[in-house]
Amino acid sequence: MTKDKKLEVIEKVKANGVRFIRLQFTDIMGVLKNVAIPVSQLDKALDGELMFDGSSISGFAEIEESDMYLVPDPDTFTVFPWRPSNGAVARLICDVYTPEPDKSPFNGDPRTNLKRLIKEAADMGFVMNAGPEGEFFLFLVDEKGQPILNTQDMAGYFDLAPVDLGEDARRDMVCTLEDMGFEIEASHHEVAPGQHEIDFKYGPADKIADDIQTYKLVVRTIAERHGLHASFMAKPIAGINGSGMHTHQSLFSPDGKNVFYDADKPHQLSDIARWYMGGIMKHARALTAITNPTVNSYKRLVPGYEAPVYIAWSEKNRSCLVRVPAKRGVSTRIEVRHPDPMCNPYLAMAVMLAAGLDGVKNQIEPPAPIDANIYHMSPADREKAGIASLPGSLLEAVAELEKDEVIKNALGPHIVSRFVAAKKAEWERYNMEVHPWEITEYMRSF
């Protein structure tokens, strides 16, 4: 950190009456972590001298190599708008470093890993921009403050108050995000009862990954203040739509030109755009382990609920994995529709970027677009059209990840080994449980 950046943070702390700083980072599973320090420790923190026990963080380090450093990124300083009575609280997002004598970026840190992929893109002359659409549910809570599976409303897509009972909470979320520097483009009720979406402006992939983690924190915090529980679970309720995190993405040149746009090409998509999309589709089954990282994620990826199941693309068809929105010029982009908001955003951005860059490097052509509703096609018709399916379970997705060298290299050996081990253990725990459906289905009959 430069001296000027350090002084800039210190001045902001003084100007806002900040008394505590949250130093935040994200573990391999995507869980946001933090340690709170008083401002008296700010100099030490800004110099990267604060240590923590890495062995207590999922997937980070063994007990014999546990000491790690938090190195704050000064550009992530922001003050939380909810001000406690004893002084303001701010946050800094940190990179994780290994201990001395080397004291270098930790290769198991998801944020550091994404920066590695961003540098690879930069070396090819590209900047990845991304724009996520993170959906969530608002649930009621019981007298103890614990969430229950009753949604706050029975509203539908784009409904408004008084049917949309979550409008006030959602408005407060938007205002809070704007106070923290977000540029909000839209917010609305989604298709399912109690389901909502807030969209913010696209930006560079590393900043957007930070923003996703902040967005989740704000949504949960404001929901709690309204006596509600916000959940980003992919499929909390059977029989209705689940929550996705459709991710719009494009490549720009360093001078700000959208290299996905070419007015003289079919669909006005450049060769780079087509090849990038071809890479996404080629590696889709493997990267699904990262973009859809839980057992529950695959309850969403089923036909009939607007979530993609099949590996295809179209300009209009929302049953496809990849959609190309209508806008062109600087807004030319692809929308990858299968990620869900349970994913680790740093890892999800990294694997999607790696898949797309592999397509560009190897000039991987996508198949012809599919404009028919794939859900209504027979298996024979899908096979004839060459339409493959996404994995049907977490275990199947992890197996695909283990076979895909491009996606494994995008994560690095440390993250791959820890992630795969954790997800196989998750699958084993799931298989050992007796679920309510089994009791209902079998108890009386056998």
159, 210, 211, 335: which is the annotated catalytic residue? 335
27, 133, 210, 358: which is the annotated catalytic residue? 133
27, 135, 164, 167: which is the annotated catalytic residue? 135
Sign of the Cα torsion 12, 16, 17, 19 reads negative
Query: CB neighbours of 199 closer than 8 A, spacing ≥ 6?
Result: 131, 133, 184, 185, 186, 187
405 as an active site residue: the answer is: no
Beta strand 245-252 with 334-336 is antiparallel
Which among 146, 342, 134 is positioned nearest to 228, based on CA atoms?
A: 146
318, 371, 383, 438: which is the annotated catalytic residue? 318
Distance CA 394, CA 396 (A): 5
Which among 413, 425, 420 is positioned nearest to 398, based on CA atoms?
A: 420
* E strand or H helix at 71: strand 67-72
337 as an active site residue: the answer is: yes
189, 246, 333, 418: which is the annotated catalytic residue? 246
11, 53, 185, 315: which is the annotated catalytic residue? 53
73 as an active site residue: the answer is: no
Beta strand 18-26 with 88-97 is parallel
Distance CA 388, CA 382 (A): 8
27, 109, 197, 358: which is the annotated catalytic residue? 197
Distance CA 218, CA 231 (A): 12
Sign of the Cα torsion 183, 316, 156, 161 reads positive
190, 210, 211, 400: which is the annotated catalytic residue? 190
64 as an active site residue: the answer is: no
365 as an active site residue: the answer is: no
83 as an active site residue: the answer is: no
428 as an active site residue: the answer is: no
* Residues classed as catalytic: 53, 133, 135, 190, 197, 246, 318, 335, 337
